[in-house]
Amino acid sequence: MALLQIQEPGGKPARQMHRLAVGIDLGTTNSLVSARCGLKVESLPDAQGEHLLPSVVHYATDGEIVVGTAAKARALIDAPNTIVSAKRMLGKSLSELRAIGHYLPYEFDSTRADTAPAVMTRAGSKDPVAVSADILSALKARAEDALKGQLEGAVITVPAYFNDAQRQQTKDAAEAAGLKVLRLLNEPTAAAVAYGLDSADQGNIVVFDLGGGTFDVSILSLTRGVFEVLATGGDTNLGGDDFDRLLAAWLAKQPGADKHSEGELLQLANSLKHQLSTDATVEFALGSNPHSLSREQFATLAKELLSRAMLLCRRSLRDAKLGLDEIDNVVLVGGSTRMPAVREAVAELFGREPLTSIDPDRVVAVGAGIQADVLIGNKSDSDFLLLDVTPLSLGIETMGELVEKIIPRNTTIPVSRAQEFTTFKDGQTAMALHVMQGEREAVADCRSLARFTLRGIPPMVAGAAKIRVTFQVDADGILSVSAEETLTGAKAEIQVKPSYGLEAATIEDMLQSSQANARADMELRSLQEAKVDAVQLIDAIAAAVGVDAHLLEEGEGQRIDEAVAALAEALESGTSAQLVQLTETLNRISGDFAARRMDAHIGRALQGESIDRVESE
Amino acid sequence: MHPAEDFFSLFSLPRSFAVDKPALTANFRALQAASHPDKVAAGDEAAKLAAVQRSSLLNDAFATLKSPLARAGYLLRLAGIDVEAVSQSDLDPAVLFEQMQLRESVAEAPAGEDGLAPLAALKQEIGARIEVREAAFVAALEAEEFSATKRVFHELQFLYKLFQEIEASEEQRLGY
């Protein structure tokens, strides 16, 4: 605490020169940079007056790095040297990228590990971090030109569902571009910030973000400048493109559609959708057949997509433990929220008109700019605070390939949680720790984030060592894990910085299937627990027979062996009920032997042998 | 933890099961506003680390006091009672029977959306039982009857867990 006081003796420092900090919306398709200009935070245009910078990088023959509209124009002519949608590649392995099936017209660097893919360009091998850094450098140069000075820091937005790897790589890209990252900010949160400070509102806010391909909903509460994220949810496979496809499918059934290719119908669908955002009805022709389409018709077609989005809103409200009537404001983000059908559905669900005064394409960048201005210290401390949450549960693998959750999803960050574990076998001196992310109970259904080993545990009987595992998630959502044996202080730790991360769609699947599979998980858990018990008993008996075989009565050893064999067989293919039964049988059969051992050891102890020696056997 | 530094005193609240929620929230936010890492975002690593630790502690303390069950467990820990160690024999047979009956009622709710109304009624029923138990918990704690306090705590644990299971079942029926 003393340190903090030294920073600001007797209150605020004298008003210094305005420090330059920007907000950056590093998007999949387009990126923006914003900063305080006078009283307002606004996105900054380039020399041609364009605010949106296409997130495309072209590596030209003369060695120049071209970013933006000019690069986009080269995407078709020189695809192998022009990288689009680098954001989709952040934090992923090459095999994951191929599995997702995005069109990848690139030659990947074969000398790189699968987990660290890079594209071979004429400018050399470029990984998504390097490409993102080039985009960030272009935005930095734009901002420094416009603001006429050096930037001291930046707030960069990321999707709420970005995992550790994706967040870490975003930070790495910023560092490579020479930007000091003040904070990674979740995109929906940034949007709420953009509106929050303009009005001195207090209450609960829903951020409804419908982009081209993804949908995010966040529930926030605002009280006197403190934003608290209560819950986040969404669907990474729901966006404006789905409305295009739906409309194209309808068009294909209309008279005259056979005169048009699928691609043409999709293009027409997209343009009709845009026109319906300004006009109540549009006229068009298919072949020589005249047609018209009204907003109402379109809304009817889109009903299913809209109800899916509304369902996800209700689910997040439930996570936030709020009712529909407790929502005070709804913020719209993303170009797809320009559709009147979307606005109406939102207004109907929440019983109020959504906020639309800030351009839905720029609102995230504006919010990031506001936050950057606060964090760099241009605003007094008490003004504004943002408390964010973890989007997915974090845990550790335990015996039986189960995941023990240590930090549940929607926990406010930063957070530090510790849990105690123990050894499984006698004399165990090391423990492998496997850090997992996801909602399901089985290791196979969650995402592996990192593995590390704690060594130097003193040999003790199973269950005697106390291993304290601590998870720490910082304000950027980045995790570090440490493990300590509390008796001896043996320690190991790791910052979770995996070389690749989760496909966003996978996260959503994991969330959904966790609910659908709760029952299967319970059955699996009981099976796994039964297996753990069985293995422990088999090990204990093997150890006991090894030491005290002379205490076995005639035929007893064989009976025990048979029961062990039956149990071992059930371990391979048995149900939990069979395992429990066979474990009980083995316990019963070996019970007399165990009792004789106990008597013999007590007898020896009474004869003067030290308890330690008895136990060490 | 030093008794003077427990979560209640952290938020300037009396150590009791009944908490003034608006005061808890207001004090939490005021303390976070002073200690959050964002306040030293432009500062050095040592200051950031200290802020992360302090801010994590505040989040943990707030989450503990906000949830009635976590708060009850915390009060028991402060009283030096090990809440982890529970055996069936700690529970009254009448309570075990009550638990069994409640579980059966949950299992008997019709599938699909038809089950929503009976589940809502059950939630209300369980809510009422939770209220009774919480009052009993407060009384036992004040009387320093620790074994009774612990027993009621375990009954509460069961009721809250069942409540959560009903909510999960509702969510499944709603297609969430």
Q: What are phi and psi of A204, to 5 degrees?
A: -105, 135
Residues A398, A505 within the same domain: yes
Mean pLDDT of the region B134-142: 94
Please compute the mean of the pLDDT values over residues A228-256 and round it to a whole number.
Answer: 88
| A209 carries an active-site annotation | yes
Tell how strand A329-333 and strand A203-210 pair up. parallel
Quick one: which H or E segment has residue A114?
A: none
In a domain, B22, yes or no: yes
**Closest chain B CA to residue A227:** B29
Mean pLDDT of chain B: 87
Minimum mean pLDDT range among A291-305, A334-348, B33-47: B33-47
Same domain, B54 and B92: no
| Chain B residue with Cα closest to A372 | B41
In what order do the strands lie in the sheet containing A479-485? A415-421, A467-473, A479-485, A491-495
pLDDT at A612 over 70: no
Residue A87 catalytic?
A: yes
Question: Is the pLDDT higher at B169 or at A1?
Answer: B169
What is chain B written as a DSSP string? --GGGSHHHHTT--SSSS--HHHHHHHHHHHHHHH-GGGGTTS-HHHHHHHHHHHHHHHHHHHHHHSHHHHHHHHHHHTT--SS---GGGS-HHHHHHHHHHHHHHHHSPSGGGGHHHHHHHHHHHHHHHHHHHHHHHHHHHTT-HHHHHHHHHHHHHHHHHHHHHHHHHHHHHT-
Question: What pLDDT, in 10s, does the model give residues B29-45?
Answer: 889 988 888 888 777 88
Same domain, yes or no, for B94 and B40? Answer: no
Residues A165 and A46 in one domain: yes
Q: Would you say residue B140 lies in a domain?
A: yes
pLDDT score at A493: 67
Same domain, A456 and A531: no
pLDDT, residue A383, reads 61
* Token pair in block for residue A383: 């003004």
- Name the more confident of A259 and B83: A259
Residues of the domain holding B130: 88-174
> DSSP 3-state assignment of A428?
coil
Give the pLDDT of residue A570: 85
pLDDT, one tens digit per residue, over A348-402 is 999 999 998 999 999 999 999 999 998 888 765 446 778 888 878 899 998 888 9
Task: Give residue-wise pLDDT tens across range A576-600.
Answer: 778 888 888 888 888 888 778 777 7
Burial of B78 (0-12, 13-18, 19+ CB in 10 A): middle
Give contacts of A417 with chain B, Cβ < 8 Å: 60
Among A463, A487, A516, the domain boundary falls at A516
In this complex, do B36 and A376 lie within 8 Å of one another by their Cβ atoms?
no
- The region of weakest confidence among A70-74, A260-264, A269-273, A524-528 is A524-528
Provide the pLDDT for residue A178. 94
Q: Quick one: pLDDT band at residue A501, thresholds 50, 70, 90?
A: very low
Do B165 and B101 belong together in one domain? Answer: yes
Distance from CA of B49 to the nearest CA of A (A): 9
Closest residue in chain B to residue A379, using alpha carbons only = B39
In SS3 terms, A355-414 reads as: ECCCCCCCHHHHHHHHHHHHHCCCCCHHHCEEEEECCCCEEEEECCCEEEEEECCCCEEC
Find the Cα–Cα–Cα–Cα dihedral A54, A55, A60, A62, rounded to 10°: 90
Radius of gyration of chain A (CA): 30
- Residue A15: is its pLDDT beyond 70? no
B53 reaches A (C-beta below 8 A)? yes
Q: What is the mean pLDDT of chain A?
A: 83
pLDDT the model gives residue A521: 61
Q: Are residues A491 and A555 in the same domain?
A: no
B57 shares its domain with B104: no
Domain assignment present for residue B73? The answer is no
According to the model, what pLDDT value does residue A300 have?
94
- Greatest pairwise CA separation for chain A in angstroms: 108
Domain boundary among A469, A491, A516: A516
A409 and B CB contact within 8 Å: no
CATH number of the domain that residue B114 is part of = 1.20.1280.20
Asked whether residue A234 is domain-assigned, the answer is: no
DSSP A79: G
What's the pLDDT at A520?
57
Nearest CA in chain A to B176: A315
Question: Residue A297's domain is classified under what CATH number?
Answer: 3.90.640.10
Residue A339 resides in a domain: no
pLDDT class of A522 with cuts at 50, 70, 90: low
CATH number (domain holding residue B38): 1.10.287.110
Chain A closest CA to B143's CA: distance in Å?
A: 32
Contact A374 B56 (CB under 8 A): no
Q: What are the angstrom distances between the C-alpha of A276 and each of A212, A260, A280, B135?
A: 17, 21, 6, 59
Residue B109 sits in the same domain as residue B161: yes
Instruction: Band the pLDDT of A310: cuts 50, 70, 90.
Output: very high
Cα dihedral A306→A309→A310→A312 (10° resolution): 160
Question: Looking at residue A125, which CATH number applies to its domain?
Answer: 3.30.420.40
Can you tell me the distance from the alpha carbon of A212 to that of A162, in angstroms, rounded to the nearest whole number? 17
The enclosing domain of A578 has a CATH number of 1.20.1270.10
CB within 8 Å of B40: residues ≥ 6 apart: A4, B47, B48, B51
Q: How confident is the model at residue A502 (pLDDT cuts 50, 70, 90)?
A: very low
Cα–Cα distances in Å, from B87 out to A571, A584, B83, B150, B151? 28, 20, 11, 11, 10
ipTM confidence: 0.78
Nearest to A378 by CA among A174, A197, A227, A175: A197
Q: How many CB atoms lie within 10 A of CB B60?
A: 19
| Nearest chain B residue to A183, by CA | B41
Which band of pLDDT confidence, cut at 50, 70 and 90, is reported for residue A192? confident
Which single residue is written with the structure tokens 């204990």? A540
Residue B79 falls inside a structural domain: no
- Give the range with max mean pLDDT: A189-193, A498-502, A522-526: A189-193
pLDDT at residue A103, as a whole number: 63
State whether B153 and B92 are in the same domain.
yes
**H-run or E-run covering A436:** strand A431-437
Note whether B118 and B62 are same-domain residues: no
Let me know whether A247 and A172 are in one domain. Answer: no
Mean pLDDT value across residues A549-560: 85
Same domain, A30 and A162: yes
Chain centre distance of CA A602 = 56
Asked if A183 is an interface residue toward chain B (Cβ–Cβ < 8 A), one would say yes
Q: Is the pLDDT of residue A11 over 50?
A: no
Q: How confident is the model at residue B115 (pLDDT cuts 50, 70, 90)?
A: confident
Q: What integer pLDDT is reported at residue A603 of this predicted model? A: 57
B175 CB near a chain A CB, below 8 Å?
Answer: yes
Residues 6+ apart with CB under 8 A from A432: A451, A452, A453
The domain tally of chain B equals 2
Which structural domain range is residue A543 located in? 519-616
Percentage of residues of chain A with pLDDT beyond 90? 38
Among residues A250, A282, A304, which one ends one of the domains? Answer: A304
| Distance from C-alpha of A563 to C-alpha of A578, rounded to nearest angstrom | 13
Query: Mutate which of A412, A440, A522 to test chain B, going by most B C-beta atoms within 10 A?
Result: A412
**B71 part of a folded domain:** no
Question: Which range, of A60-64, A559-563, B84-88, B163-167, averages the lowest pLDDT?
Answer: B84-88
Q: How many CB pairs under 8 A join A and B?
A: 91
Residues A581 and A512 in one domain: no
CA A495/CA A472 separation, integer angstroms = 9
Q: Do B176 and A153 touch (CB under 8 A)?
A: no
Domain count, chain A: 4
pLDDT at A12 over 50: no
A487 and A554 share one domain = no
pLDDT of A199 above 60: no
Considering only CB atoms, which chain A residues are within 8 Å of B26? 223
Q: Give domain status of residue B30, yes or no.
A: yes
Is the pLDDT at A200 greater than 80? The verdict is no
Per the domain annotation, does B77 fall within a domain? no
A478 and A562, same structural domain? Answer: no
* List of chain A residues whose C-beta atoms are within 8 Å of the C-beta of residue B172: 515-516, 518
In eight-state DSSP terms, residue A481 is E
Q: pLDDT: is A16 or A175 the higher one?
A: A175
Query: Are A506 and A549 found together in one domain?
Result: no
Calculated CA dihedral for residues A87, A92, A94, A95, nearest 10 degrees: -130
Q: Does A475 contact B33 at a Cβ distance shorter than 8 Å?
A: no
User: Which positions in chain B touch A472 (Cβ < 8 Å)?
Assistant: 52, 56
Per-residue model confidence (pLDDT) at position B88: 58
> Would you call B38 and A152 a contact, using CB atoms and an 8 Å cutoff?
no
**Residue A385 at interface with chain B, using a CB cutoff of 8 Å:** yes
Q: Would you place residue A122 in the very low, low, confident or very high pLDDT band (cuts 50, 70, 90)?
A: very high
Which pLDDT does position A450 carry in this prediction? 78
State whether A32 and A139 are in the same domain.
Answer: yes
- A77 plus A172 within the same structural domain: yes
Q: Is the dihedral of CA A437, B51, A23, A499 positive or negative?
A: negative
Catalytic residue among A46, A96, A134, A209: A209
The whole-angstrom distance between B67's CA and the closest CA on chain A is 13
Q: Does B10 touch chain A (CB under 8 A)?
A: no
Q: In the structure, what pLDDT confidence band is assigned to residue A172 with cuts at 50, 70 and 90?
A: very high
CB atoms within 10 A of CB A241: 16
Q: Is the pLDDT reported for residue A2 higher than 60?
A: no
Interval B41-73: pLDDT, tens: 777 888 888 899 899 999 999 999 999 999 999
The answer to whether the beta carbons of residues A391 and A161 sit under 8 Å apart is yes
Residue B75 lies in a domain: no
State the DSSP code for A120.
E
What's residue A301's pLDDT? 93
Say what the pLDDT of residue B176 is.
72
> Would A604 be classed as within a structural domain?
yes
In a domain, A35, yes or no: yes
Pairing of strands A467-473, A479-485: antiparallel
Per-residue pLDDT, averaged over A120-129, amounts to 93
